[in-house]
Protein backbone atom coordinates (compact mmCIF):
# COMPACT_ATOMS: atom_id res chain seq x y z
CA UNK A 1 0.00 0.00 0.00
CA UNK A 2 1.30 3.45 -0.94
CA UNK A 3 1.21 6.61 1.10
CA UNK A 4 -1.28 9.44 0.87
CA UNK A 5 -0.22 12.36 -1.30
CA UNK A 6 -2.33 14.63 0.90
CA UNK A 7 -0.31 13.56 3.95
CA UNK A 8 2.94 14.41 2.17
CA UNK A 9 1.61 17.74 0.84
CA UNK A 10 0.19 18.76 4.21
CA UNK A 11 3.50 18.06 5.90
CA UNK A 12 5.32 20.23 3.34
CA UNK A 13 2.99 23.13 4.12
CA UNK A 14 3.84 23.03 7.82
CA UNK A 15 6.85 24.96 9.06
CA UNK A 16 6.86 23.44 12.55
CA UNK A 17 10.10 21.83 13.72
CA UNK A 18 10.11 18.99 16.21
CA UNK A 19 12.63 18.52 19.02
CA UNK A 20 14.14 21.97 18.44
CA UNK A 21 16.24 21.72 21.59
CA UNK A 22 17.54 18.22 20.93
CA UNK A 23 17.38 15.04 22.96
CA UNK A 24 16.72 16.64 26.33
CA UNK A 25 18.83 16.49 29.44
CA UNK A 26 20.60 13.12 29.78
CA UNK A 27 19.65 13.07 33.46
CA UNK A 28 15.97 13.33 32.51
CA UNK A 29 16.30 10.51 29.98
CA UNK A 30 17.91 8.27 32.60
CA UNK A 31 15.16 9.00 35.14
CA UNK A 32 12.28 8.43 32.73
CA UNK A 33 13.84 5.22 31.36
CA UNK A 34 14.15 3.90 34.89
CA UNK A 35 10.56 4.86 35.71
CA UNK A 36 9.38 3.17 32.50
CA UNK A 37 10.29 -0.16 34.09
CA UNK A 38 7.63 0.54 36.72
CA UNK A 39 4.82 1.87 34.55
CA UNK A 40 5.48 -0.83 31.97
CA UNK A 41 4.31 -3.43 34.50
CA UNK A 42 0.64 -3.24 35.52
CA UNK A 43 1.23 -5.10 38.78
CA UNK A 44 3.84 -2.55 39.83
CA UNK A 45 1.87 0.42 38.56
CA UNK A 46 -1.70 -0.26 39.68
CA UNK A 47 -1.18 1.01 43.23
CA UNK A 48 0.83 4.13 42.34
CA UNK A 49 -2.30 6.29 42.04
CA UNK A 50 -4.68 5.81 44.99
CA UNK A 51 -8.41 5.49 44.35
CA UNK A 52 -9.09 8.68 46.31
CA UNK A 53 -6.55 10.77 44.40
CA UNK A 54 -7.82 14.38 44.65
CA UNK A 55 -9.46 15.92 41.57
CA UNK A 56 -11.02 19.39 41.61
CA UNK A 57 -13.77 21.08 39.56
CA UNK A 58 -13.05 24.78 39.13
CA UNK A 59 -15.96 25.99 37.02
CA UNK A 60 -19.17 24.67 35.45
CA UNK A 61 -20.53 26.15 32.22
CA UNK A 62 -24.20 25.62 31.35
CA UNK A 63 -24.93 25.18 27.63
CA UNK A 64 -28.10 24.31 25.74
CA UNK A 65 -27.05 20.73 25.03
CA UNK A 66 -24.59 19.97 27.81
CA UNK A 67 -22.66 21.10 30.84
CA UNK A 68 -18.92 21.67 30.66
CA UNK A 69 -16.94 21.11 33.85
CA UNK A 70 -13.44 22.61 33.92
CA UNK A 71 -11.18 20.88 36.41
CA UNK A 72 -7.62 20.20 37.48
CA UNK A 73 -5.40 17.96 39.60
CA UNK A 74 -1.71 17.64 40.30
CA UNK A 75 -0.05 15.22 37.90
CA UNK A 76 0.91 12.07 39.87
CA UNK A 77 4.17 11.95 37.91
CA UNK A 78 5.38 14.94 39.91
CA UNK A 79 5.32 12.78 43.04
CA UNK A 80 7.36 9.94 41.54
CA UNK A 81 9.80 11.81 39.28
CA UNK A 82 9.99 15.30 40.84
CA UNK A 83 10.99 18.14 38.56
CA UNK A 84 10.71 16.11 35.34
CA UNK A 85 7.58 17.95 34.22
CA UNK A 86 7.65 21.54 32.93
CA UNK A 87 6.26 23.89 35.58
CA UNK A 88 3.14 24.62 33.53
CA UNK A 89 2.35 20.89 33.23
CA UNK A 90 2.45 20.00 36.93
CA UNK A 91 -1.19 21.04 37.24
CA UNK A 92 -3.12 18.83 34.82
CA UNK A 93 -6.28 20.44 33.41
CA UNK A 94 -9.30 18.80 31.81
CA UNK A 95 -12.80 19.46 30.52
CA UNK A 96 -15.68 17.16 31.30
CA UNK A 97 -18.62 17.46 28.88
CA UNK A 98 -21.78 15.76 30.14
CA UNK A 99 -25.31 15.61 28.71
CA UNK A 100 -28.13 17.37 30.55
CA UNK A 101 -30.08 14.13 30.53
CA UNK A 102 -28.58 10.67 30.75
CA UNK A 103 -30.06 7.66 29.01
CA UNK A 104 -29.76 4.11 30.37
CA UNK A 105 -26.23 4.41 31.79
CA UNK A 106 -23.74 7.19 32.46
CA UNK A 107 -20.91 6.26 30.05
CA UNK A 108 -17.79 8.41 29.80
CA UNK A 109 -14.99 8.23 27.25
CA UNK A 110 -11.69 9.99 27.97
CA UNK A 111 -10.21 11.68 24.87
CA UNK A 112 -6.44 12.31 24.93
CA UNK A 113 -4.95 15.06 22.78
CA UNK A 114 -2.98 14.39 19.63
CA UNK A 115 0.17 16.14 18.43
CA UNK A 116 -0.48 19.89 18.20
CA UNK A 117 -3.94 19.63 19.80
CA UNK A 118 -3.16 21.80 22.80
CA UNK A 119 -6.68 23.06 23.44
CA UNK A 120 -10.09 21.47 23.99
CA UNK A 121 -12.27 23.10 21.34
CA UNK A 122 -11.32 20.74 18.48
CA UNK A 123 -12.13 17.53 20.35
CA UNK A 124 -15.15 19.16 21.98
CA UNK A 125 -16.56 20.22 18.60
CA UNK A 126 -15.66 17.20 16.45
CA UNK A 127 -16.15 14.39 18.97
CA UNK A 128 -17.64 15.27 22.36
CA UNK A 129 -20.74 17.23 21.38
CA UNK A 130 -21.70 14.92 18.48
CA UNK A 131 -21.36 11.96 20.86
CA UNK A 132 -23.79 13.58 23.30
CA UNK A 133 -26.27 14.16 20.47
CA UNK A 134 -25.89 10.67 19.00
CA UNK A 135 -25.77 8.48 22.11
CA UNK A 136 -25.81 10.67 25.21
CA UNK A 137 -22.23 9.63 26.03
CA UNK A 138 -20.14 12.06 28.07
CA UNK A 139 -16.54 12.96 27.19
CA UNK A 140 -13.60 13.95 29.33
CA UNK A 141 -10.91 15.86 27.44
CA UNK A 142 -7.34 15.78 28.71
CA UNK A 143 -4.86 18.31 27.26
CA UNK A 144 -1.40 16.98 26.56
CA UNK A 145 7.85 19.07 21.77
CA UNK A 146 10.77 20.80 22.31
CA UNK A 147 12.89 17.80 23.32
CA UNK A 148 12.76 14.12 22.45
CA UNK A 149 12.49 13.46 26.18
CA UNK A 150 9.29 15.56 26.31
CA UNK A 151 7.45 12.76 24.48
CA UNK A 152 8.51 10.20 27.08
CA UNK A 153 7.61 12.51 29.95
CA UNK A 154 4.20 13.09 28.39
CA UNK A 155 3.65 9.34 28.10
CA UNK A 156 4.55 8.68 31.71
CA UNK A 157 2.42 11.60 32.88
CA UNK A 158 -0.65 10.59 30.87
CA UNK A 159 -0.53 6.99 32.08
CA UNK A 160 -0.74 8.12 35.71
CA UNK A 161 -3.09 11.03 35.01
CA UNK A 162 -5.50 8.75 33.18
CA UNK A 163 -5.55 6.45 36.21
CA UNK A 164 -6.36 9.43 38.44
CA UNK A 165 -9.25 10.46 36.19
CA UNK A 166 -10.61 6.91 35.88
CA UNK A 167 -10.57 6.53 39.68
CA UNK A 168 -12.37 9.87 40.05
CA UNK A 169 -15.05 8.94 37.49
CA UNK A 170 -15.62 5.65 39.29
CA UNK A 171 -16.02 7.48 42.61
CA UNK A 172 -18.56 9.82 41.00
CA UNK A 173 -20.63 6.86 39.77
CA UNK A 174 -19.97 7.04 36.03
CA UNK A 175 -20.02 3.75 34.10
CA UNK A 176 -18.89 2.30 31.76
CA UNK A 177 -15.59 4.09 31.20
CA UNK A 178 -13.36 3.98 28.13
CA UNK A 179 -10.45 5.75 26.45
CA UNK A 180 -9.72 7.05 22.98
CA UNK A 181 -7.52 9.48 21.09
CA UNK A 182 -6.46 10.35 17.58
CA UNK A 183 -2.89 10.08 16.31
CA UNK A 184 -0.50 10.55 19.24
CA UNK A 185 -3.53 10.82 21.52
CA UNK A 186 -4.56 7.33 20.45
CA UNK A 187 -1.12 5.97 21.22
CA UNK A 188 -1.09 7.60 24.66
CA UNK A 189 -4.56 6.18 25.36
CA UNK A 190 -3.20 2.75 24.47
CA UNK A 191 -0.33 3.12 26.93
CA UNK A 192 -2.73 4.30 29.65
CA UNK A 193 -5.06 1.32 29.22
CA UNK A 194 -2.17 -1.15 29.57
CA UNK A 195 -1.95 -0.12 33.23
CA UNK A 196 -5.65 -0.08 34.13
CA UNK A 197 -6.38 -3.22 36.21
CA UNK A 198 -9.89 -3.79 34.82
CA UNK A 199 -11.44 -4.51 31.42
CA UNK A 200 -11.98 -1.21 29.61
CA UNK A 201 -12.96 -0.19 26.06
CA UNK A 202 -10.07 1.32 24.09
CA UNK A 203 -10.39 2.99 20.69
CA UNK A 204 -7.03 4.28 19.38
CA UNK A 205 -7.50 6.07 16.03
CA UNK A 206 -4.70 6.65 13.52
CA UNK A 207 -2.03 5.25 15.84
CA UNK A 208 -0.07 2.01 15.86
CA UNK A 209 2.53 0.05 17.81
CA UNK A 210 5.37 2.52 18.41
CA UNK A 211 6.26 6.18 17.93
CA UNK A 212 9.69 5.29 16.53
CA UNK A 213 8.42 4.85 12.98
CA UNK A 214 6.58 8.19 13.17
CA UNK A 215 9.79 10.15 13.72
CA UNK A 216 12.24 8.03 11.69
CA UNK A 217 10.39 6.88 8.56
CA UNK A 218 7.09 8.79 8.54
CA UNK A 219 6.64 12.19 6.93
CA UNK A 220 7.15 13.82 10.34
CA UNK A 221 10.78 12.72 10.15
CA UNK A 222 11.22 15.71 7.85
CA UNK A 223 10.12 17.99 10.70
CA UNK A 224 12.67 16.62 13.17
CA UNK A 225 15.54 18.96 13.98
CA UNK A 226 18.19 16.42 12.98
CA UNK A 227 20.90 19.07 12.90
CA UNK A 228 20.62 19.69 16.64
CA UNK A 229 20.13 15.99 17.47
CA UNK A 230 23.22 14.98 15.52
CA UNK A 231 25.26 17.81 16.99
CA UNK A 232 24.36 16.77 20.55
CA UNK A 233 24.90 13.09 19.84
CA UNK A 234 28.34 13.83 18.39
CA UNK A 235 29.51 16.13 21.17
CA UNK A 236 28.11 14.41 24.29
CA UNK A 237 29.42 10.90 24.88
CA UNK A 238 26.82 10.21 27.59
CA UNK A 239 24.29 9.15 24.94
CA UNK A 240 26.42 6.32 23.53
CA UNK A 241 28.32 5.45 26.70
CA UNK A 242 25.44 5.44 29.21
CA UNK A 243 21.97 6.04 27.76
CA UNK A 244 22.23 3.29 25.15
CA UNK A 245 22.85 0.68 27.83
CA UNK A 246 19.58 1.59 29.58
CA UNK A 247 17.52 0.51 26.56
CA UNK A 248 15.85 -2.85 27.11
CA UNK A 249 13.32 -3.32 24.33
CA UNK A 250 14.51 -6.17 22.11
CA UNK A 251 11.39 -7.32 20.26
CA UNK A 252 11.53 -8.82 16.80
CA UNK A 253 11.11 -5.36 15.28
CA UNK A 254 13.64 -3.62 17.50
CA UNK A 255 15.82 -2.93 14.50
CA UNK A 256 14.08 -4.70 11.63
CA UNK A 257 12.60 -1.46 10.34
CA UNK A 258 16.08 -0.16 9.67
CA UNK A 259 16.58 -2.69 6.90
CA UNK A 260 13.92 -0.88 4.89
CA UNK A 261 15.05 2.69 5.64
CA UNK A 262 16.69 3.28 2.27
CA UNK A 263 13.88 1.72 0.25
CA UNK A 264 10.80 2.90 2.17
CA UNK A 265 11.69 6.08 4.04
CA UNK A 266 10.50 9.41 2.60
CA UNK A 267 14.07 10.31 1.72
CA UNK A 268 17.55 8.91 1.96
CA UNK A 269 19.83 9.61 4.87
CA UNK A 270 21.69 12.07 2.69
CA UNK A 271 18.54 14.07 2.00
CA UNK A 272 17.13 13.82 5.50
CA UNK A 273 18.85 16.87 6.87
CA UNK A 274 21.41 17.90 4.24
CA UNK A 275 24.08 18.23 6.88
CA UNK A 276 27.83 18.22 6.67
CA UNK A 277 29.85 17.02 9.62
CA UNK A 278 31.88 20.16 10.06
CA UNK A 279 32.43 22.60 12.87
CA UNK A 280 31.16 25.50 10.79
CA UNK A 281 27.75 23.96 10.04
CA UNK A 282 27.14 22.25 13.36
CA UNK A 283 28.33 25.26 15.28
CA UNK A 284 30.94 23.34 17.25
CA UNK A 285 33.97 24.84 18.79
CA UNK A 286 37.35 23.65 17.52
CA UNK A 287 37.73 21.63 20.72
CA UNK A 288 34.39 19.91 20.16
CA UNK A 289 35.21 19.28 16.53
CA UNK A 290 38.51 17.67 17.52
CA UNK A 291 36.69 15.54 20.07
CA UNK A 292 34.25 14.28 17.45
CA UNK A 293 37.15 13.43 15.15
CA UNK A 294 38.90 11.49 17.89
CA UNK A 295 35.73 9.59 18.67
CA UNK A 296 35.26 8.63 15.05
CA UNK A 297 38.88 7.56 14.73
CA UNK A 298 38.58 5.48 17.88
CA UNK A 299 35.33 3.93 16.70
CA UNK A 300 36.90 2.98 13.41
CA UNK A 301 39.22 0.29 14.72
CA UNK A 302 39.52 -2.40 17.38
CA UNK A 303 38.12 -1.87 20.82
CA UNK A 304 38.59 1.92 20.63
CA UNK A 305 38.82 4.53 23.34
CA UNK A 306 35.52 3.51 24.90
CA UNK A 307 36.82 0.02 25.71
CA UNK A 308 34.22 -1.92 23.76
CA UNK A 309 34.68 -5.65 23.44
CA UNK A 310 36.07 -6.51 20.03
CA UNK A 311 33.48 -9.26 19.67
CA UNK A 312 30.83 -6.54 19.26
CA UNK A 313 32.53 -4.92 16.29
CA UNK A 314 31.65 -5.55 12.70
CA UNK A 315 34.50 -6.28 10.35
CA UNK A 316 34.95 -3.20 8.20
CA UNK A 317 34.79 -3.72 4.51
CA UNK A 318 35.12 -0.91 2.05
CA UNK A 319 31.89 -0.56 0.13
CA UNK A 320 29.60 -2.02 2.81
CA UNK A 321 26.22 -0.43 2.27
CA UNK A 322 23.55 0.43 4.82
CA UNK A 323 21.41 -2.60 4.08
CA UNK A 324 24.25 -4.99 4.90
CA UNK A 325 25.07 -3.17 8.11
CA UNK A 326 21.47 -3.13 9.29
CA UNK A 327 20.92 -6.74 8.29
CA UNK A 328 23.91 -7.82 10.36
CA UNK A 329 22.46 -6.28 13.51
CA UNK A 330 18.75 -6.81 12.97
CA UNK A 331 18.50 -9.43 15.72
CA UNK A 332 20.68 -7.60 18.23
CA UNK A 333 19.65 -5.63 21.29
CA UNK A 334 19.34 -1.86 20.66
CA UNK A 335 22.57 -0.83 22.37
CA UNK A 336 24.48 -3.41 20.32
CA UNK A 337 22.82 -2.07 17.17
CA UNK A 338 24.29 1.34 17.82
CA UNK A 339 27.71 0.07 18.74
CA UNK A 340 27.82 -1.86 15.48
CA UNK A 341 26.69 1.20 13.56
CA UNK A 342 29.79 3.07 14.69
CA UNK A 343 32.07 0.89 12.60
CA UNK A 344 31.03 1.93 9.11
CA UNK A 345 33.87 3.25 6.98
CA UNK A 346 34.71 6.86 7.76
CA UNK A 347 36.35 9.59 5.71
CA UNK A 348 33.82 11.01 3.26
CA UNK A 349 31.10 8.90 4.90
CA UNK A 350 31.39 10.57 8.30
CA UNK A 351 28.25 12.65 7.85
CA UNK A 352 26.22 9.66 6.70
CA UNK A 353 27.54 7.67 9.63
CA UNK A 354 26.47 10.33 12.12
CA UNK A 355 23.02 10.43 10.57
CA UNK A 356 22.75 6.65 10.83
CA UNK A 357 23.87 6.67 14.44
CA UNK A 358 21.39 9.40 15.34
CA UNK A 359 18.55 7.52 13.64
CA UNK A 360 19.53 4.29 15.41
CA UNK A 361 19.57 6.12 18.72
CA UNK A 362 16.22 7.77 17.98
CA UNK A 363 14.63 4.42 17.20
CA UNK A 364 16.15 2.84 20.30
CA UNK A 365 14.92 5.48 22.75
CA UNK A 366 11.51 5.76 21.06
CA UNK A 367 10.92 2.02 21.21
CA UNK A 368 12.06 1.90 24.83
CA UNK A 369 9.37 4.32 26.02
CA UNK A 370 6.58 4.06 23.44
CA UNK A 371 6.56 0.52 22.01
CA UNK A 372 3.34 -1.18 23.08
CA UNK A 373 5.18 -4.48 23.57
CA UNK A 374 7.20 -2.84 26.34
CA UNK A 375 4.01 -2.54 28.43
CA UNK A 376 1.49 -4.99 29.88
CA UNK A 377 -1.24 -6.42 27.66
CA UNK A 378 -4.64 -4.84 28.52
CA UNK A 379 -6.89 -6.99 30.68
CA UNK A 380 -9.28 -7.74 27.79
CA UNK A 381 -7.92 -6.98 24.30
CA UNK A 382 -11.28 -7.93 22.77
CA UNK A 383 -12.60 -4.57 23.96
CA UNK A 384 -10.07 -2.78 21.74
CA UNK A 385 -11.04 -1.43 18.31
CA UNK A 386 -8.22 0.22 16.38
CA UNK A 387 -9.05 2.49 13.44
CA UNK A 388 -6.21 2.87 10.93
CA UNK A 389 -5.81 4.61 7.56
CA UNK A 390 -4.53 2.35 4.78
CA UNK A 391 -2.25 5.00 3.26
CA UNK A 392 -1.13 6.72 6.47
CA UNK A 393 2.17 8.50 5.81
CA UNK A 394 2.43 9.80 9.37
CA UNK A 395 2.22 6.42 11.12
CA UNK A 396 4.10 3.84 8.98
CA UNK A 397 3.35 0.20 9.70
CA UNK A 398 6.06 -1.35 7.50
CA UNK A 399 8.58 -3.34 9.52
CA UNK A 400 6.70 -2.80 12.79
CA UNK A 401 5.01 -5.55 14.79
CA UNK A 402 1.23 -5.43 14.39
CA UNK A 403 -1.10 -4.70 17.27
CA UNK A 404 -2.95 -7.95 16.55
CA UNK A 405 0.28 -9.81 17.28
CA UNK A 406 0.89 -7.96 20.54
CA UNK A 407 -2.78 -7.79 21.64
CA UNK A 408 -4.40 -11.02 20.42
CA UNK A 409 -8.15 -10.56 20.07
CA UNK A 410 -8.18 -6.84 19.28
CA UNK A 411 -9.96 -5.60 16.16
CA UNK A 412 -8.41 -3.37 13.48
CA UNK A 413 -10.59 -1.39 11.09
CA UNK A 414 -8.94 0.12 8.02
CA UNK A 415 -10.09 3.27 6.25
CA UNK A 416 -9.29 4.27 2.69
CA UNK A 417 -6.97 7.26 2.40
CA UNK A 418 -4.34 8.73 4.64
CA UNK A 419 -3.87 10.33 8.04
CA UNK A 420 -5.07 13.85 7.19
CA UNK A 421 -8.14 12.86 5.16
CA UNK A 422 -9.20 10.43 7.90
CA UNK A 423 -8.85 13.11 10.55
CA UNK A 424 -10.81 15.65 8.52
CA UNK A 425 -13.58 13.46 7.12
CA UNK A 426 -13.86 10.23 9.14
CA UNK A 427 -14.75 11.45 12.62
CA UNK A 428 -18.12 9.71 12.39
CA UNK A 429 -16.32 6.38 11.85
CA UNK A 430 -14.16 7.05 14.91
CA UNK A 431 -17.28 7.73 16.97
CA UNK A 432 -18.96 4.55 15.69
CA UNK A 433 -15.95 2.52 16.78
CA UNK A 434 -16.30 4.06 20.26
CA UNK A 435 -19.99 3.11 20.43
CA UNK A 436 -19.23 -0.43 19.23
CA UNK A 437 -16.47 -0.91 21.82
CA UNK A 438 -18.75 0.31 24.63
CA UNK A 439 -21.58 -1.96 23.43
CA UNK A 440 -19.14 -4.87 23.41
CA UNK A 441 -18.18 -4.06 27.01
CA UNK A 442 -21.84 -3.90 28.15
CA UNK A 443 -22.59 -7.26 26.56
CA UNK A 444 -19.57 -8.94 28.11
CA UNK A 445 -19.46 -7.23 31.52
CA UNK A 446 -23.02 -6.07 32.31
CA UNK A 447 -22.45 -6.20 36.07
CA UNK A 448 -18.81 -5.10 36.37
Quick one: the chain helix, strand, coil %, rounded to 5? Answer: 50, 15, 35
pLDDT band at 15 (very low <50, low <70, confident <90, very high): low
The pLDDT value given to residue 344: 43
Distance CA 144, CA 191 (A): 14
Q: Give yes or no for a contact between 211 and 151, defined as CB atoms under 8 angstroms apart.
A: yes
Domain parsing of the chain, residue ranges: 5-253+358-445
Q: What is the mean predicted confidence (pLDDT) over 196-221?
A: 95
> With 80 as the cut, is the pLDDT of residue 274 above it?
no
Q: Tens digits of per-residue pLDDT, 35-74?
A: 999 999 999 998 999 999 999 999 999 998 899 999 999 9
DSSP symbol at 195: T
Q: What is the mean pLDDT of residues 239-249?
A: 86
Q: Residue 356, class by beta-carbon neighbours within 10 Å (0-12 exposed, 13-18 middle, 19+ buried)? A: buried
| pLDDT for the residue numbered 138 | 84
According to the model, what pLDDT value does residue 247 have?
87
383 has a pLDDT exceeding 70: yes
Percentage above 70 pLDDT, the chain: 73
Q: How confident is residue 79, by pLDDT bands cut at 50, 70 and 90?
A: very high
* Among the listed residues 49, 93, 100, 102, the one whose alpha carbon sits nearest the alpha carbon of residue 71: 93
Of all residues in the chain, what percent carry a pLDDT higher than 90? 57
Beta carbons within 8 Å of 276's beta carbon, 6+ residues apart = 351
Q: How far is CA 296 from the centre of its chain?
A: 31
Average pLDDT, the chain: 80
Task: Provide the greatest CA pair distance for the chain.
Answer: 73
Instruction: Please provide the CATH number assigned to the domain covering 5-253+358-445.
Output: 3.40.50.1820
SS3 annotation, 388-422: EECCCCCCCCCCCCCHHHHCCCCEEEEECCCHHHH
In Å, what is the CA distance from 354 to each residue of 227, 269, 395?
A: 10, 10, 25
pTM to 2 decimal places: 0.80
Alpha-carbon distance 413 to 385, whole Å? 7
Amino acid sequence: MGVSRLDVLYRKLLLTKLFIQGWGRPEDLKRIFEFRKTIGDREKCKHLVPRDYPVFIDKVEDHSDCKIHNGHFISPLEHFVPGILPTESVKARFQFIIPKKWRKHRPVCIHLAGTGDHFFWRRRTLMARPMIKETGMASLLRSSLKNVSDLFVMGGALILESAALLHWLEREGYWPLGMTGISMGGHMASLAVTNWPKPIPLIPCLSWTTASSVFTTGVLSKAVNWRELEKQYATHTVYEEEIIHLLEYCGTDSFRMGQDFVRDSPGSFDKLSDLALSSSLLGMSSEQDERVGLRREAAGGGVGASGRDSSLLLEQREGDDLDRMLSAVSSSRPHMDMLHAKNISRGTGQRQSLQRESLCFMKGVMDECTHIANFSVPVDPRLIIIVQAKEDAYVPRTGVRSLQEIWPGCEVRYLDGGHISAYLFKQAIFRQAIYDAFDRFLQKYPML
